[in-house]
Amino acid sequence: MTCQEFREMIDRDGAPTTGEANAHLHDCPSCAEFVETWQEVRRGLHELGEEEPPPFLHTRLMAHVREAAEADSRKKEAWFFGLKKIWAGPLLVLFLGMLLGGYGLMQVLKPRPVTAPVQTPPTVLQQEDRQAAGKSQPRKEESPFQEGAPKENDKQANAASSPQNLGSSEAGALSKGDFSPPAPAVSGGVSPGPALEEEKKRERGDSIFGNAPAGEPAPSEPYQPLANSTGTIQGTGDAAPGRASVPKDKAVARSQASSMESSLGTAPDSLARSGDEPSEVVCTLSPLSGSGPFITLQLPAGAAPPSGGIWTVHVPQEGLPRVQDAVGKPVMAAPLATLTAILRPLRVPPGSYKLKRIS
């Protein structure tokens, strides 16, 4: 081993680590002196490392650490509150937006009550529209009493309920040939049997809406708007226990009928309750000649012909219908108003009809 190699070993390992290096150390006085000096230097370096730090070192260090910790927590707090300040407004707006959006979405997705699918039922067929029977033509304005209909429709309906407007609106609707017969209360066709059965059920107190909750039309009821028309009829008479299921319609109908009757000068209740007759009777409306609908109606007794009697109903293109009794005398105002209120939603085509009381 050379002196260079030996000194490199000392530099690298700090001491002779092999037998050869130890032999060289033994034989080489220069390298022995080198190692001795190196050991002295290492002792000096060790001593440098054992120098005592200042006595306040720990106190100062801990003071700075605590200060830094407090600064950190203040910074975190400041960041948090800063964030709150900066983002409070946008977050609030976002939250409100989400709230409103969610509400709107719920409103959109909410199952709506069945909206007046004005269908021509197979039992009520107009002679003219027989070919179009079975086609469904939803017309919102057809049933102003329809629950869930837009307010505009209500307004329109109220406006149409006035004597001035009734004729023109009816005329418009009738000229289109639209006709929405009421299923439960109004049955059409040659045989009035099912309608009579329905009426008998109703008289027994059965609700035509089955298990539908009060105040809400049964969603599965196909002729719901017509059922509402029934409510109109019922509203003008005494309320039966089973008929309390359509209070809204009843109220609307009552207000409609009363507004009409007030314009004609007589209160309807006096008619409905007059005499010992039953409060409601079943009548049929059929065309005097030619084709036309055959409708079974449930009417207040006061707005129907006397038992076995027949009235003639003239439905003009425009204006109010005219009603004449068997001898051709115009029927007094109150029954006319009630009849008008009942016939209007049915959209009876213009023409002359025979109103016959069958019960």
Partner 1 sequence: MDDRGTRGRAFQKEWDADAASVERFQAGDAEAFEALVRSREREVYRTALRILGSEDDAMDASQETFIRAYRSLGSFRNEASFKTWVIGICINVCRNKLASSSEQMKRRSTGLTKENAEDGEEMESTFRDTSPDPASAALGSELKQALARALTKLSPEHREIIVLRDIQDLDYDEVGAILQCPEGTVKSRLSRARQALREALEGFWP
Rounded to a whole number of angstroms, the minimum distance from the CB of residue 78 to partner 1 is 17
Rounded to a whole number of angstroms, the minimum distance from the CB of residue 213 to partner 1 is 58
Closest CA to 182 of 69, 344, 16: 344
**Closest to partner 1 by CB, 17 or 175:** 17
**Closest to partner 1 by CB, 43 or 130:** 43
d(CA 207, CA 190): 25
Q: What angle do CA 205, 210, 211 make, to 5 degrees?
A: 115
Rounded to a whole number of angstroms, the minimum distance from the CB of residue 63 to partner 1 is 9
Q: Long-range contacts: 166-172, Cβ < 8 Å, 24+?
A: 166/260, 166/319, 166/320, 166/340, 166/344, 167/316, 167/318, 167/319, 167/320, 168/318, 168/319, 170/318, 170/344, 170/347, 171/316, 171/317, 171/318, 171/319, 171/350
**Closest to partner 1 by CB, 11 or 276:** 11
Rounded to a whole number of angstroms, the minimum distance from the CB of residue 72 to partner 1 is 7
Local structure of 45: helix, strand or coil: helix
**Closest to partner 1 by CB, 80 or 103:** 80
Rounded to a whole number of angstroms, the minimum distance from the CB of residue 60 to partner 1 is 7
Q: Calculate the CA dihedral of residues 231, 233, 236, 242 and round it to 10 degrees.
A: -50
Instruction: Return the structure tokens found at 351.
Output: 């023409």
Rounded to a whole number of angstroms, the minimum distance from the CB of residue 12 to partner 1 is 4
What is the binding site for partner 1 (CB under 8 A)?
8, 10-14, 30, 33-34, 37, 40-42, 44-51, 53-54, 57-58, 60-62, 64-65, 68-69, 72
Strand partners, 178: none
d(CA 39, CA 132): 119
**Closest to partner 1 by CB, 37 or 262:** 37
Rounded to a whole number of angstroms, the minimum distance from the CB of residue 55 to partner 1 is 12
**Closest to partner 1 by CB, 40 or 238:** 40
